[in-house]
Chains A and B, each alone.
Chain A
Amino acid sequence: MKLFNNINRYIKYGFSILIVAMLFVSCTDDLDSKAYGEPVLEDFYKNPAQAEQALIAAYSSMSEIAGSDFWGTMGNDVIFGEIGTDDFIKGGRTAENNAPLFERDNWAITTSNPIIEQMWKINYKGILFANLVIENVPNISFEDEVRKKEILAEAHFLRAFYYFDLVNSFGGVPIISKPLKIGEFNVPRATKEDSYKLIEDDLKIAIADLPSRLDRDASYTGRADKGAALGMMMRVSLYQNKMGQVETYGNQLFALGHELTPDYATIFQPEGEWNIGSLFEINFSSDASILGTGIPKRVNPNSNRGGGFVQARVDLRNEYETNDPRFGATLFFKDAPYGTDWYVRKYAWAPYTNYEIPTIGGDNNSANNIRIIRLADAYLMYAEAIYNTDPTKAIEYVNKVRTRARGTALPTVVPNLPDTLSGQPLLDAIYHERRVELAGEGFRFHDLVRTGRAEALLSPYGFVKGTHELMPLPVGQVTLSEGVLVQNPNY
């Protein structure tokens, strides 16, 4: 009996131990827990639809830096880039209102300025998203091989676009041309030349593989196309003083069929979006989807619910020739408690343009597309590139711009340049033309720097040669890199 009890007991023990052991074995294999409710990286970049989604994401940084991100938008060339030049002062409610912009206004830019931090980060976000496309889309099988090539080409354009903004602002930057792995994050700065090389290589792919929107139906509008890539390439070449390259790509661009839209005053109106002379714009709308831009909010006068930033100096106002219709199309007067009281019309709201003040999604939800490259800009770049080698042709291109500017007015208004013009006077005429044609669009500062005129013209406002050509690297990034990122000189 005792023996039986013992056996019974052993069975009981054995049984329970067995259960425990079995359950243990069965659940150890069970520790896999999939990311729940959200797709993970491993399941993405598998089909053409996902490739398109990935590409859309790569575009999104553009709308942040020109629209939705608070400091990122402040950092746009149209605002931050224009302030402190001989064209514009900061403006705003008071002299000191908006410290980060104020730093630019008096050329005392600190390394902790949030604008430069956001410029850095948002562009690199765009670069990451473009890199994800460039890295992953080649492995996706497409029925439409042409579209596959286009997707990659668009991504290359976008990457070039973001790098160009970085190089313009900071000089040589860390080159990251594929998604990084852990341990690879701390990348040192490349030289300016190497950074430009990446940009040019990207644009070459874009130029080769992208169609012109003029050869496609309207549904293609909004995407980077061949015209955009060529225009971008001209600007990239110009900023490096590669004038031959400007000419080469200009010739390719002009063969696409773009023309100047007849009325200058309509360019920055709703009807001027993606006109025949527009090479690239960042698209915005003002509806419930909140894909609008915040730039108009910054540049409208305080009385028109704006921030009142970017007000024109008298120097710019005097640059316009008498009766130049572009003056009125570019600037307007509105009495305000602080500043010069002259505001930029190009990204203003009604009553100064036909763009309405947003009625939905808040004031930072404007419909104004931000015009990135216009054909007139390309004409003037081209003219500048060839003024020495082919002045006649250069004059011809400048005159195209002036003729359009004149519009229906008498020929004495913004008269054609004389055919005899050449050398420095011609170059000065081209500089003048760029200044008035493109005023308020964010090019003045870069033009002055690349042509070596910045010191002469900007030092009265605090600009210091050898320092302010470049922005400082964001201090947070320099600190984080533990010395790998080297700060720009004198910051």
Chain B
Amino acid sequence: MKLNKLKTKKRLLSHYVLMLFFTLFCTTVTVHAQNSEITGVVTGVDDGMPIPGATVLKVGAKTGAVTNFDGEYSINAKIGDVLQFSYLGMVPQTVIVTQAKLNVKLQSDLQDLDEVVVVGYGTVKKKEITGAVAQLKNDDIEQFVTSDLASSMQGQIAGVSISASSGEPGEASDIQIRGITSLSGSNTPLFVVNGIPQIGDPGLSSNEIETIDVLKDAASTAVYGARGAAGVILITTKQGVAGQMKVDFNYTFGLQTLGDGTPLMNTRDNLFYETNRNEHSNVSFVPLIERYPEWINNDNTFDDYVLNRNAEVKTYNLIVSGGADKITYSIVAGLFDQDGSIINSNFKRYNGRASTTYTTDNWNIEGSLAFTLENRKRSSEGLIVLASRYRPYFPLIDPSEDQSDIIDNGGIRTPSVALNEALRRQDNSNSDRINASLKLDRKLSESLNFITRVGTSISNDLRKLFRPAFVLYDIEQDITEVDNTRNGVANISSRTTKFSWDASLNFKKQFGDHNLAATGIIALEEDSYEAFDASIQGVTNNNIFVLDIGSVNPAVNSGFNPILPSNTDNYNKKTVGTLARLQYNYKGRYLLSGLVRYDGSSRFGKEYRWGTFPSVSAAWNISDEPFWKPIKSTVNNFKLRLSHGTVGNDSFSDYEFASTISNQFSNYLFDENDAEESFGAAILSYANSNVKWETSVSNNVGLDISFLKNKFRVTADYYITKKRDMLFPITLPGSAGAIYDNQLTLNVGDMENKGAELAINYRANIGKSKLSIGTTFTTNENKITRIQEGVGFIPNQGRLVNGDNYITALVQGYEAGAFWLYETNGVVQTDEQLAAYTALENRETAQKGDLMYVDTNDDGKITDADRSYKGSGLPDFEYGLNLNWNIGSFDLSMNWFGTVGSEILNGNKADTYNFERHQDLVNMWTPNNPTSQIPLFRGAGNDHPNYSGTTDFWLENGDYLRLKQITLGYSLPKDTMSNLGVTNFRLFLSAQNALTFTKYSGYDPEIGGGNVARRGIDSSRYPIAALYSLGFKIDF
């Protein structure tokens, strides 16, 4: 039976491939000579303006046409034929041909309620939605020049919080749908492209995308089961439209500029500061300049070393689409090429996608094949910080030299080596991805369809790291040295594959006023990742980046290697889901939808693999009720939505149930001659074979209101999500011995997310201009309601600001990743203050000029117990304002985005204080400057509490409002263009991130951070640049 099926599949596949070829090569539409030519103009009802690009189709035939720039069309048809006119945003119209000239007026589709929204394993009309779902169209995102899809969605969908963790080219933003979902696992929502679930962000180019639908509440995401626990983003790629072939091409060119970062002292200020410090602090190093007076002429600025001014961004996009009666096609190709605003960084992406659809009465086949080639160069991590540590009077660095000048005694060695090396480090990676999907929809009867989808994505990645060899020349002792373990080459090769298959039976029938739809689905997914790496040290040539140039410590490794950046364990994960869904409505007025999903995940131990998760949602189109009639003309639409859903979550590390054996941190040396090491092996972590599904229960209530002829549309939602048996990373006691992985995932703890979302859209025609304004407002309140019996506090170890062990923590009653810091109260300035401060235990040796820690628990001591809640990187609310205005040949679009209520720990400031480089230090407290609030330098942060990274001294208000994007476009007059066979030619100027209103003193207040523990900590990040670009778009 299986074989049979395979054969069938194969035959279908070859059929499909043939179709594809046919589509690609035979794109001209056949003209039927026996018919006469019907011509006419398509215009809009509201403004009477011609509509270019509207599709005209002869129903039941292969003939189609597209209107030209003047809205004119001509099509071969005879009287009595039925023509269908359609255009995006307009209500389609079907007209019977009665004469040779046929002018048609299309009505704007202000209703939008017949628009189709993708909800996972199917679509529903907007009016029939029962959950919390939002949609973006290509128009909403295409103005952005970015490789990161999420960044162009920021502020456009209420409830979806997006923030960039880095401005490095090719980096993806963090996306959180309705708050924090997982404390240890990923918070990235599930991406589904053309019905096929993906691993992480599939990295699509915005030119491939037709619509983005976001499922927010559990009742909606429940169709994807555990995979959708963090929300679902459904992407539908561009499909062709039957009619004449269309070719669109666009090009943009842009330049990036960075704002101001941390202000640093120049040579003069630095020397002034050092003299001050030596005099008034007990730290006194002989200034190097006494030994090297000629250095006084040096005045390095770190910008010279690391910043790439006016870095370029170029994009090219080509879209070819069209189709005939049963077949449509779309081909998209693009190149995105961005230089980073820090040296050695670049991101280049080539993408292509071919999609076709084939439709007959009984069959609907959709296929899409896409490739993406990415070449990425990353600059050294923390380059800005490393460069800012380098004093302005230190010897000049020539990045083309393989030698670096040092002095062993005087604090120059470390920054010099670090900076020199970082300047020349290479980190290049290639990622080649193929993404294919195929959907077969077979009509079995009028009310029954069988649908199956097969999808795969394969990503092959090769990352090459190079650390240059450096000769250190000690200018005092005239010694050179090379440390061969400080350089090296590493290559990491990995392959990520995803296979998914689903099959469903879909029943849909109308019984009088009762509409019933039932769906049974089985979905299977398998994700795997495999990697190996090779590395070697002892580089003999700095210009060749291959493994063969190494000389010592060759090593190979499979899977995870802690030495190398961002790699993970090999894994193989399988999930199986079976789902039954029932949708019912009465007259489209009362809607009810229920589903049950039975999920299995290989992430769990044998006993706990399966979970059942039901959800239900309902909606009431109140404005359809007879009693609404009187006010219907004002409030056109009023709908109430309610949903209650339960989903499982398996978002934590793979193989948590199994203890793995590792040979890291376990070697020893027995050899008498110190020559040969012995390799040990032991478990590094404990396993919890009882780890089971985390469950989250979510309730949603929503309202959709439209009034004043649908000019205003308001969508409001309120939700509460409660997590039970939360997969919580519990820190094991030190006595358990698992020092390198002391966290164990246990099903303990509860967490709550609640929030409100509001989206208001206004759309109107003012005179001859079309205006649309959208605003979004998002709040989310995250709270850990329980951690573990008796445990109320877990520090997030490992994020070091000035060498301190933790900054944020998970604390019961507060949001996850809250800042947990010492409160400070300025600098000790008076004798009274000093007396009071030194009376505290652990502060007996305090002096004037010290930062005053507050004894928050009044126990007379300054201890860890005085640390307290100091806000977090999570904002209280976010808002967005999006505007589009078309006035004649001009178009203007703007996107504003802002957040309120987040805090930022300015780690760069802390670091530059710590390394005695920040401009503020010129104004440091000294007896001669007794009113200064800049604490005296009394040693680095881990030596003296003054500059410790764990105080609120570094905390700043993270509120900001940003003009994310503004674009002004101009379309050339049609008569000039139509002679050249061009339908549309548009020139545009745009600026991204050009204006930011904030009080934050660092580079940029948008701090994603990547995970819960790091959110809000601005430390050695790659800052986000502003981008000014111009471009054109040409359509044939």
Contacts and interface: CB of A to CB of B under 8 A. Distances in A.
A31 B601 contact: yes
Contacts of B520: 20
The interface centre, meaning the residue of A36, A121, A182 with most chain B CB atoms within 10 A of its CB, is A36
Nearest to B671: A222
Interface stretch (B151-159, B197-205, B728-736, B773-781): B728-736
Contacts of B524: 23, 27
A31 B942 contact: no
Given A19-B5, A33-B573, A124-B735, A223 B670 contact: yes
A110 B655 CA distance: 38
B11 to A, nearest CB: 16
Nearest to A481: B733
A343 interface: no
B1017 to A, nearest CB: 20
A310 interface: no
B943 A477 contact: no
A54 B864 CA distance: 38
B659 interface: yes
Interface in A21-37: 22-24, 27-28, 30-37
Given A54-B680, A59-B680, A36 B571 contact: yes
Interface stretch (B130-138, B303-311, B480-488, B974-982): B480-488
Interface string B935-952: 000110011110000000
A254 B735 CA distance: 36
Interface stretch (A191-199, A279-287, A386-394, A447-455): A279-287
Given A24-B578, A129-B737, A482-B790, A57 B450 contact: no
A35 B660 contact: yes
Contact of B679 (A53, A114, A187): A53
Interface residues of B, number: 105
Interface stretch (A324-332, A358-366, A413-421): A358-366
Interface string A82-114: 000000000001111111001000001011101
A476 B863 CA distance: 12
B659 A40 contact: yes
A353 interface: no
A144 interface: no
A19 B503 contact: yes
A464 B737 CA distance: 31
B663 to A, nearest CB: 7
Interface in A203-223: 218-219, 221-223
B669 A54 contact: no
A128 interface: yes
A27 to B, nearest CB: 5
Interface string B587-613: 000000000000011110010010000
Contacts of B528: 36
Contacts of A180: 686, 736
B842 interface: yes
Interface stretch (B49-57, B87-95, B233-241, B277-285): B277-285
B445 A9 contact: yes
A288 interface: yes
B483 A362 contact: yes
Interface in A122-142: 122, 124-129, 131-132
Interface in B510-535: 520, 522, 524, 528, 530-531
Interface residues of A, number: 108
A377 interface: no
B655 A117 contact: no
Contacts of A95: 282
Contacts of B663: 53, 57
B672 A219 contact: yes
B863 A44 contact: no
Nearest to A56: B680
B659 A96 contact: no
A73 B855 CA distance: 32
A20 B520 CA distance: 10
Contacts of A367: 674
A63 B678 CA distance: 12
A60 B666 contact: yes
Given A16-B450, A28-B576, A477 B733 contact: yes
Contacts of B677: 285, 289, 291
14 contacts: A24-B578, A35-B655, A38-B662, A40-B658, A56-B668, A60-B680, A63-B669, A125-B740, A187-B733, A288-B537, A288-B553, A303-B409, A305-B408, A483-B790
Interface of A: 9, 12-13, 16-20, 22-24, 27-28, 30-44, 50, 53-60, 62-64, 93-99, 102, 108, 110-112, 114, 117, 120-122, 124-129, 131-132, 173-174, 176, 180, 182, 185-187, 218-219, 221-223, 274, 283-291, 302-303, 305, 337, 359-362, 365, 367, 474-477, 479-483, 485
